[in-house]
Structure 1
Amino acid sequence: MTPRIRSISLNKYSKVAQELGIDPLRMLRQAGLDHGCLNSPDLLVPETAFAQLLEASSAQAGNASLGLLMGSCWRLSDFGQISLLLQHQASLATLLQTLKDYHHLLSTTITTQTVTQGGISVIQLHLDTERETPGRHPMELGITALLSLCRHQLGKGWKPVGVHFSHAPPASTAHHRRVLGNDIVFASDFDGIVLTTQDLQALDPEHDSNMEGHARHLIDMHAPDRSPKSIEQQARSAIQSLLPHGRHSIAQVASALGCTSRSLQRQLENSSTSFQETLDDVRRQVAVRALKNPQLSVSEAAALAGFAENSSFTRWFSKHFEQSPSGWRQQHLSVAARG
């Protein structure tokens, strides 16, 4: 299934493009996107074409941070029909869970996962695209829009402990620091927002559970045909979150999904795949992404892909890519440098 996003992103693009002196209609035509989408924020458009639009427009505007600029003007109402429900949440934790429950009304590409360890929590953002890496602009848009959602719940002046991006820093990070704050980490091993667990779980004293119930009922009435993630998508999302922690056995993934190993394997087989195929596919994406990051060592890439030993990672990588991790990295970084 082709990854798709809501066309509200094109509205934001048009506004930012004009401010940068770019003709948005011409760029939309070049990307193969219908400008009629600008008048209908809830249409679903191909994510790949949108990513190409951002890349081409950024190049035309001197490598401008389009995704960041678009995300910085994101409002609660831009989350569409679920915005009313998001407005009536008891805490940021419940808001994020609601976002996951109704993600199908927003995009087929976005997955969030919250990981808590003691007093620190991380909201990880994953973009499931048809590319090896999501790209700088779509990820910066996603993180910045997510940050706006956090600030809606916790207050406009709220600041995260840190914001992490897996891509390299742009030539100038002035806009990033103005929008996101000073605690930004580029070339990180994940994309997401770091915050205190206290902020994540803080209860809104003015929360009205009856209003939340009314909002949920309205959404369920007008959008009854919910399309939950397929079992393969659920498994991929769970594996992606568990891999860096070395927890990627079928039993561990099944437990995270609330089912048994046998049930998970059977459901995956009914979807014409298997647990091992799904695991290997996620690992390939994680490994490629990590090895393309010159700030990460091969050992760190191995750990992110769920391997405790470099030798095991090398054997697995050589089997799937027909060369060693270091050889693959050298080749691709050389190509990137020449480009």
Structure 2
Amino acid sequence: MKPLARYAALHGYTELGRSLGLDTVELLHAVGLDPAGLRVQDRWVPAVAVADLLERSASASGREDFGLRLAERRRFGNLGPLGLIVREEPDVRSALRVITRHESMFNEAVRTRLTEQDGIATLRIALDLGEPVESRQAIELAVAVLHGLLRGFIGARWRPLEVRFTHPAPRNLRTHLRIFGPHVHFDQETNAIRTNTTDLDLPNDMSDPQLRAYARKLLPDPPYRTRRADTLDRVRELIEVMLPTGRCSVEQVARSLGADRRTVHRRLAAEGETFSSLLDATRAELAQHMVTNRTHTLTEIAELLAFSTPGNFSRWFRHRYGCSPTQWRDRVPQGQPDTRTNGDGRNTEDGQRRRTQPDLAEAAQR
């Protein structure tokens, strides 16, 4: 079944659409949504229909910032019962952990991952819509909503160190700069918000310790999936950092984690993974987007992904995707997003994983 989202994801849509001269009823019908359903915020609908609606609305209104404008109308209450629980968490970090663990309660398509390294906290946001569709507006909505939640906890003066998007920059950056501040970057490897880890230690002034235990009892176990342990996220991130250095091994990763090789293997096994499977999946995701986005030659990609020769990379790619890197690249018109699926069946995201050589060099030094 395709991932679902609650109608709460479209809170404020009718008012925003009408203010921009849109026929919101016609647009809702066009993607198979019931206009009357907007009044029932807890009703579930296909997440892909929500993403399609946002794209059509942005196109019809001529506003590339449609998703951002919709995000500005969101409040804690739009999270439903989860919002009540999040407000009672003692600090920003614990609030984020509750959100990422239970986000499927309000949107099954959103994937949020928090990692911390060298004093920097990175919140990565991705969408799994169940089929290949344009998702720029939905991504910007999700990132801006999370950004708004962080400002609610930390304070209105807070600004992230950086906000990243995988898609190209819009013609007009005014709304992005107004909402996120000056450090907004496009054509990046992932959609993410980066801030100091010390920001996550700040107390939540909205929290009431007497209500916290009671509020948490309201949370059911995640119905569809449970967040994986921090070890998995940290190993995946270290693989991304170490691949271009040519020193990506389980021993090197274990050393970076302050653990031994057996401990890393045991923790990954508890999550249903092995180091080899995680390395192969991470390498495949990077390879797919690097080949699609044409930033590097195939020889450069082979080197960045730590293959000994371009021929080895080509053979591995063909085994993984059923065609050579050249054939893959030729099938995707230059400048167009790739809409095929990767090796494990998940859909690719528009413009993801576009990395430059300086980006990789910088990552390798962190």
The more displaced of 293-302 and 71-80 is 293-302
TM-score (norm 1): 0.79
Give, in angstroms, the shift of residue 291 of structure 1.
Answer: 3.8
Give, in angstroms, the shift of residue 27 of structure 1.
Answer: 0.3
Residues 142 and 187 (structure 1), Cα distance of their counterparts in 2 relative to 1, 3 Å cut = same
Matched, 1:25 2:25: yes
Give, in angstroms, the shift of residue 279 of structure 1.
Answer: 7.8
Distance 1:241 1:214 in 2: 35
**What is the RMSD of the two structures over their aligned residues, measured on CA atoms?**
3.8
Give, in angstroms, the shift of residue 149 of structure 1.
Answer: 0.6
Residues 283 and 260 (structure 1), Cα distance of their counterparts in 2 relative to 1, 3 Å cut = closer
Q: Which residue of 2 aligns with 1:11?
A: 11
Matched, 1:43 2:43: yes
Q: Which residue of 2 aligns with 1:146?
A: 146
Contact 2:31 2:52 in 1 (8 A): yes
Q: Which residue of 2 aligns with 1:113?
A: 113
Residues 226 and 324 (structure 1), Cα distance of their counterparts in 2 relative to 1, 3 Å cut = closer
Give, in angstroms, the shift of residue 90 of structure 1.
Answer: 1.6
More helix by share: 1
Contact 1:235 1:257 in 2 (8 A): no
Give, in angstroms, the shift of residue 192 of structure 1.
Answer: 0.9
Match of 1:227 among 201, 223, 236: 223
Distance 1:176 1:97 in 2: 26
CA deviations on 1:215-234 (whole Å, 9 max, x unpaired) are 222x23xxx464140799x9
In structure 2, runs of 5+ residues without a counterpart are: 255-261, 338-366
Contact 1:124 1:191 in 2 (8 A): yes
The more displaced of 203-212 and 52-61 is 203-212
Give, in angstroms, the shift of residue 333 of structure 1.
Answer: 3.4
The more displaced of 235-244 and 25-34 is 235-244
Q: Which residue of 2 aligns with 1:129?
A: 129
Give, in angstroms, the shift of residue 133 of structure 1.
Answer: 7.2
Distance 1:106 1:32 in 2: 20
Give, in angstroms, the shift of residue 5 of structure 1.
Answer: 1.0
Alignment of structure 1 residues 28-107 onto 2, 5 Å = 28-107=28-107
Distance 1:301 1:47 in 2: 34
Contact 2:77 2:83 in 1 (8 A): yes
The more displaced of 106-115 and 315-324 is 315-324
Give, in angstroms, the shift of residue 65 of structure 1.
Answer: 2.0
Contact 1:189 1:290 in 2 (8 A): no
Distance 2:144 2:303 in 1: 28
Distance 2:249 2:46 in 1: 31
Alignment of structure 1 residues 154-169 onto 2, 5 Å = 154-169=154-169
Distance 2:98 2:265 in 1: 17
Greater relative CO, 1 or 2 (CA 8 Å, sep 6+):
2
Q: In structure 2, the residue corresponding to 1:2 is in which secondary structure?
A: coil
Q: In structure 1, the residue corresponding to 2:334 is in which secondary structure?
A: helix
Distance 1:96 1:226 in 2: 15
Give, in angstroms, the shift of residue 108 of structure 1.
Answer: 1.0
Residues 65 and 15 (structure 1), Cα distance of their counterparts in 2 relative to 1, 3 Å cut = same
Q: Which residue of 2 aligns with 1:182?
A: 182
- Corresponding letter in the other structure for 1:182: P
Residues 171 and 335 (structure 1), Cα distance of their counterparts in 2 relative to 1, 3 Å cut = closer
TM-score (norm 2): 0.74
Contact 2:239 2:282 in 1 (8 A): no
Residues 46 and 57 (structure 1), Cα distance of their counterparts in 2 relative to 1, 3 Å cut = same
Give, in angstroms, the shift of residue 300 of structure 1.
Answer: 8.1
Give, in angstroms, the shift of residue 103 of structure 1.
Answer: 1.8
Give, in angstroms, the shift of residue 214 of structure 1.
Answer: 2.1
Distance 1:77 1:292 in 2: 40
Distance 2:264 2:128 in 1: 19
Distance 2:205 2:70 in 1: 31
Residues 301 and 41 (structure 1), Cα distance of their counterparts in 2 relative to 1, 3 Å cut = farther
In structure 1, runs of 5+ residues without a counterpart are: 269-273
Contact 1:160 1:193 in 2 (8 A): yes
Distance 2:299 2:208 in 1: 49
Give, in angstroms, the shift of residue 11 of structure 1.
Answer: 2.9
Distance 1:239 1:25 in 2: 46
Q: In structure 2, the residue corresponding to 1:122 is in which secondary structure?
A: strand
Give, in angstroms, the shift of residue 282 of structure 1.
Answer: 7.0
Distance 1:96 1:30 in 2: 35
Give, in angstroms, the shift of residue 190 of structure 1.
Answer: 1.2
CA deviations on 1:171-226 (whole Å, 9 max, x unpaired) are 11111111111110101111110101111222346743222112222x23xxx464
Residues 18 and 290 (structure 1), Cα distance of their counterparts in 2 relative to 1, 3 Å cut = farther
Distance 1:92 1:120 in 2: 14
Distance 2:222 2:275 in 1: 25
The percent identity for this pair of structures is: 25
- Corresponding letter in the other structure for 2:240: P
Contact 1:125 1:192 in 2 (8 A): yes
The more displaced of 48-57 and 145-154 is 48-57
Distance 1:39 1:84 in 2: 20
